[in-house]
Structures are given as C-alpha cells and as structure tokens.
A and B are shown apart, each in its own frame.
Chain A
C-alpha cells in the first residue's frame, strides 16, 4: 500500500500553514480576490454557483479505509453530508465555507491527503486503471509509475506556471481503462525489448472544445529515461505552448499545429540536450522503494468458484445478476474485483453520502486489504475481494444503495455536475442522466441492450467526457433554453474514437425519446451479439440519423 513520504508530509503541512495564512488574510480583507484566486486554485478551491467547491486529490484513485473515513467525516462536519467522485478519480465537496477550509486541509493532512494541484495551470492528478494490481492482463502495476510521476510533478518549480492545466493518465494493461489517449500525456506500460517494463508515451490527447486523440510520440521509453523524456515533453510545451489564447493553450493544440513528427523531433532534441547536461535521475533503488508500496497483498490460497458463492448465486437472483455484471475476474485464483455502482436509478451519478463512504471504508478494511479505488467513470472498486466473501459484501452494498448491477450498461453514465452546481455550465446534466436512467430502469432491458456508455457534459469543457461516449450528450444554451446535442460512436478505450454529432439538438423533454430512438435503431441492426459501439462502427451514422430525424 502506498505510504506517504516524509518529504511529502512536511511539504503538505507547510502548504496547509501557508494557505491557512492566506485564507486568514483574505477574510481579514488584506488580499484581493485577484491576488487570492491563483493561490486558492493551487489549493483546489473553486468558487461555483452556490458556494466554494473543494477538490481533494486522490492519487490515481487510491484511498485507504482510514482516508475514506476522513472523507466521510469532512462531508459530515464541514459540508452537507456527501461528496462527489469525479472523472479524474478525485473527490469534490460542494459546500465548504472558505473560513473552514484550513481546518479541512488540516484534517486531510492528518491522513496524508491534500488538495494540491487539483486546479490551476500545473500538472494535475495522475489518473490510472482502477483494476491496477488485480487485472490479469497487466504488464506491470501502473500505480508504481503513477506514483513516480506524482512525486516528480509535485511542486516542480519549472512546471508550476504552465500555459494551462496538464493531465497525465497511466495504464498498465493493453486494455485501457484510464482513457490515456484523451489526456495531455497518456502512458501505456509495455514490455520493452529487454523484457522489462517500458513505456509508450502518447501526447496531445484531450477533450474540451477541441477534442483530439493523443499521438504516439515516444515508443518503448526505458524506465531509466522515462522522467527525462517526460520532462523534455513538458519543456517543449512550456516553451511553445500558447499563453496568449485561452482556447489554444493546451499541449494538444501545439501537437496539432506542428504535427506529431515535429513534436517528436523537438522532444528528442530536448531529451538529447538534457542527457548531456542533466537528465532526471531515477535510480533503481527509488523504483524498488516505490514498487514496494504496491507489493501484492497477503492473498490466501483459494480456489475459484467456492461453494458458498455458487450457493448464494442459486439462492438469490439479484446477487447472481450483480456478480454477472459488476464483478470482474482477478488475476489471483479465488479472488474477484467488485465494482461498486454509484449510479442508482434516480440518484446523482458519482455522489456518495458520508454513511455510504463509511460502509465502503469498512468493507475495504475487512474484505479488500484496506484499498478502495475511485474510477474515472465515477464509481468505486474493491479490487481484492475473496470470492467466498462476495455475498457478504453485496449484502452490505445492497443495504446501502450501492449494489445496482449496471456496470457498463446504459444507466451507468458519466454525468458532470452541470448547471445544478457548476459556474461554467450552460445546461443541467444530472436530471438528463436521471431521466434516461429512469426510462431504462428495467434490468432485463438493460442487459439485453448490453454495454452502452452514455456520457453527459453540461458545457463544452467536457468534464462529462461526452466526446468519448458511445452516446455522448452535450448540454448547450440556445437563447436561454437548455438544448442537448447528441454524438455517437465515441470511445475512450484502447481504440479511442471521438463521437460524431448526429444532428440538431433536442430539448429537455425530447432528449430521452431521442436516446430511446437511437437504442431502437441499434437493436434493430445489431448482429452476432454486437455491442452498440460495434454496430455503430459497422453501419455508420446514417441509419441512426435517418430514424432519429424521420418525423422532420
């Protein structure tokens, strides 16, 4: 399990003291908002529609039970009893008072957590695969490299004032559950020529108002060279990224403008210069030390398909359905990966109450070696549950509204907070997701439809990842009325694609019918057990477009 470095601890304590001082001065009227804003952003404090919002960093989505209990405590004591898990594996609180934030940061620091670099023009949370360390197709645990990158990028003096925010994602498996190809830098751990773990580095992916798929810039970069290589990329960006135009300031615009080949050339040139004058040294001892943080837990010697599991499935069809849909295979016999759905029908996607967080903390401590993971699709994971314990875990989840068996199905949507919470939004997103979920509530129908990822954003910033939804929905404002624009065929996995806009937008009262129409088209056309995405890729947008706008 990841352990906080002493260096980190001192650093965070220092920063909490510093920010507490800044807040006190702000409240006393000694510094203006213009002076305070860049400071509060560096500490994850936003000002949203109703109140401040605090975004707490959850490094690559990993949280211990002790930390989860503290997150619950903060929700209870300083907020309104709940938190929201985000598409960057972080947690957000929607109602903290500025005067309470120093106390919140103190509480977080006591469990080795913080809100550093969750906002502002710096390197943000490094996100990763929620099945890290448990997936059978993993080349190497991506958390090792996520942690190395995290340490390298924390308060890095050269990269604290970038042209714009910068986001990393790392996958350890060829199956990409971390959306690496729509990140500024996406890293896939691969097997190098020498048989050791190496890295394919994708640069210039991103969503927002100009979505782009990352380009493979660095192939099979060695462990020794990784940080120097990443630093070379950051230097090229820092030097040439645009600071004059907010909408053209991400690295994806630079890559798009100069081209992948030229980007690679510039990075290699910088890399060569750094090798000569001062590479970033990453000693093997360091790699070993950090790898040890993620050593395999003390698994028992167990068999697959224990009698108690099979009996429980026979006895309880709801449990059986949950196992089928929400439980994934683990690389160790007798174990399983349990996915906790935070998408109950009628609920708010990704929200969890303090009570639910406590339940998850208890389950993690007892049944999953004290680890919880947050997924970028706004769910949670208990990655190492013994198969014989699955029924007990499910009963607890079921009793607390977290056992909806909808993983990857049409009601397991990514939904950004939208106009109900966010100062940037143009339209509400949460109620749209709820209405769609309600329409497709029937579990038999959901299972028949199969894997269908709906992703909903309330504005062009795409925090809801609509560009990479099988069905993507973007809320827009047309002359004061909320409209919803549909795109089809997006995907964020190892075959990343950006969705195609299907046609004119729909009003709130028409959007659910539109989604239903699209689903019906798919069901009518699918062959040989195709998923929605497969059918779309085979037949293209035309049949969907025709049926959707037929009445017009």
Chain B
C-alpha cells in the first residue's frame, strides 16, 4: 500500500476494503464506511490526515474492514475526485469493463 501513497499529499481521504466481500469503501465523517467516495470525510493537512486515519482503527478491530490507508483527493466542481489513476480505478471499476464494478451500479462518483 505504501508504494501507492503520495507522501506530499495535503488533501486526503481514507479508504479500505470491506471484509465480507472485499468491496472498496470510504471513511465518512461519522466514522462509518460508505461505498461512495462522495460520502468520504476529507482531511486537509498532514495532521488532520493522521487523525482521520486513526478513526479507521475501530473498524479494523471489529473486522469490518482491512488495510485502511490515506490517499490524495481533490475537490472539483463540488465533487471529491481521486488524484491517482489507481484510486480512480478503485472508485469506479476496471476501465476495460465499464459494465462491471461501481461504475455500472451508478455508485461510482
């Protein structure tokens, strides 16, 4: 996971995979886990990022999610957008099968 993080990132959200089905989820303000990136809590600054990541820990301990990590996002036209190709793909689904994954369920962005 570390290889895909941007150490210089200032604006970040927290993501993980759900244990029961492996689906990509995002940490919300209420410390819940949503399939939609638009529900994600956004942390500005490194300290806020660390604080946010710490709020993911209880869900690890209850075995609800695995491997939470911070990733860089941007706010564009009122929407949260991942900065990296990798997180864009995780958010939406495979770019070569637009009929699969969240992009097909209308849950993507």
Residues of A within 8 A of B (CB): 26-33, 47-52, 80, 95, 97-99, 348, 419-421, 425-428, 430-431, 434, 480, 482
Task: Contact check, A32 vs B63: say whether CB atoms are below 8 A apart.
Answer: yes
The smallest beta-carbon distance between A256 and chain B, in angstroms, is 25
Q: Is the CB of B96 within 8 A of A50?
A: no
Minimal beta-carbon separation of A255 from chain B (angstroms) = 28
Contacts of A51 in B (CB 8 A): 17, 21-23
Contact B17 A428 (CB under 8 A): no
Let me know if B21 and A430 touch, CB within 8 A.
no
A480, B63: Cβ atoms under 8 Å?
A: no
Q: Find chain B residues with CB under 8 A from A80 CB.
A: 100
**Closest residue to B17 on the A side, CB-wise?**
A47
Q: Which residues from chain B contact A348 at a C-beta distance below 8 Å? A: 96-97
Residues B66 and A97 in contact, CB atoms below 8 Å apart: no
Q: Report yes or no: A98 in contact with B20, Cβ–Cβ below 8 A.
A: yes
Nearest CB in chain B to that of A351: its residue? B97
- Supplied contacts A99-B20, A99-B21, A482-B85, 16 more A-B pairs, CB within 8 Å: A26-B19, A27-B63, A28-B63, A31-B63, A33-B67, A48-B22, A51-B17, A51-B23, A80-B100, A97-B21, A97-B22, A98-B22, A419-B86, A420-B95, A426-B3, A480-B83
Selected from B67, B83, B94, the residue in CB contact (under 8 A) with A421 is B94
- A-contacting residues of B (Cβ < 8 Å)? 3, 6, 17, 19-24, 60, 62-63, 66-67, 83-86, 89-90, 93-97, 100-101
Q: How far is the CA of A49 from the CA of B100 in the complex (A)?
A: 13
A419 touches B85 (CB 8 A): yes
Nearest residue (CB) in A for B66 is A33
Q: Nearest-CB distance from B24 to chain A (Å)?
A: 6
Q: Which of B19, B97, B101 contacts A98 (CB 8 A)?
A: B19
How far is it, in angstroms, between the C-alpha of A426 and the C-alpha of B66 when the chains are bound? 21
Knowing A98-B21, A482-B85 touch, does A50 contact B94 (C-beta < 8 A)?
yes
Q: What is the chain A residue whose CB lies nearest that of B83?
A: A480
Chain A min CB distance to B62 (Å) = 6
Q: In the docked arrangement, what's the CA distance between A9 and B83, Å?
A: 49
The residue in chain A whose Cβ has the minimal distance to the Cβ of B93 is A50
Cβ–Cβ contact A47 & B22, under 8 A? yes
Question: Residues of A contacting B6 with CB < 8 Å?
Answer: 480
Tell me the complex Cα distance, A431–B85, Å.
Answer: 14
Q: Check B62 against A29 for contact (C-beta < 8 Å).
A: yes
Instruction: Report chain A residues within 8 Å CB of B62.
Output: 29
B63 close to A29 (CB less than 8 A): yes
In the complex, chain A residues whose CB is within 8 Å of the CB of B19? 26-27, 33, 98
In the bound complex, do residue A97 and residue B89 qualify as a contact, i.e. CB atoms below 8 Å apart? no
Smallest Cβ-Cβ distance to B65: which chain A residue: A33
- Tell whether, in the assembled complex, residue A27 and residue B85 are in contact, meaning their CB atoms are under 8 Å apart: no
Q: How far is the CA of A431 from the CA of B63 in the complex (A)?
A: 35
The smallest beta-carbon distance between B104 and chain A, in angstroms, is 9
Please indicate the chain B residues that have their CB under 8 angstroms from the CB of A31 in the complex.
63
Of A33, A49, A480, which contacts B89 at CB under 8 A? A49
